Amino acid sequence: MKAPIRILIADDHNVVRSGLRMLLDRTEGFIVVGEAADGEEAVRLTRDMKPDVAILDISMPVMNGVEAARVIKSAQPSVRILMLTIHESEDYVRLALNAGADGYVLKNTDREELRNAVQTVYEGGRFFSPTIAAMLPGDRSIDDTAP
């Protein structure tokens, strides 16, 4: 039997973390190993819990999700990062990708899309909500010129 995908959830809203935990823990092959309320805690828990996938919100106190992604990827490049956010702008997508995010999903996603996103980034792929995928450059590389 295959080991479950170990997931860390980081979001500053308790109800969002709780809902995500319920949803993900009920998904076969997934297990939530930790929850963080800010980016700094996400970095620490990623180091301590060694998740396969860290789901990070962008807008968090102490350290935002983009900066947390950068720190996590620098220290633990094997951890896959999935941004789960309300921010639907190319600037935020660019910042997240440059920080090492492997996927970018909007919070209005459904259960199946979230499951697919986690599975895809875990397997080494990239995943973007359809709205986000439509704004990504075709053959241009993402650069860090965003604000």
pLDDT computed for residue 140 by the predictor: 36
**What percentage of the chain exceeds 90 in pLDDT?**
71
Q: What is the pTM of this model?
A: 0.89
Per-residue confidence (pLDDT) for residue 138, from 0 to 100: 60
One digit per residue, the tens of pLDDT, for the chain of length 147 reads: 688 999 999 999 999 999 999 999 999 999 999 999 999 999 999 999 999 999 999 998 899 999 999 999 999 999 999 999 888 888 889 899 999 999 999 999 888 999 999 999 999 999 998 888 877 766 333 333 333
Separation of alpha carbons 119 and 53, rounded Å: 9
Helix, coil or strand: residue 136: coil
Element (H, E) at 126: none
CATH number, domain 5-129: 3.40.50.2300
As given in the structure block, the two tokens for residue 68 are: 């947390």
pLDDT in tens, 31-55: 999 999 999 999 999 999 999 999 9
What's 1's DSSP letter?
-
Can you give the residue ranges of every domain in the chain? 5-129
Query: Do 90 and 108 contact (CB within 8 A), yes or no?
Result: no
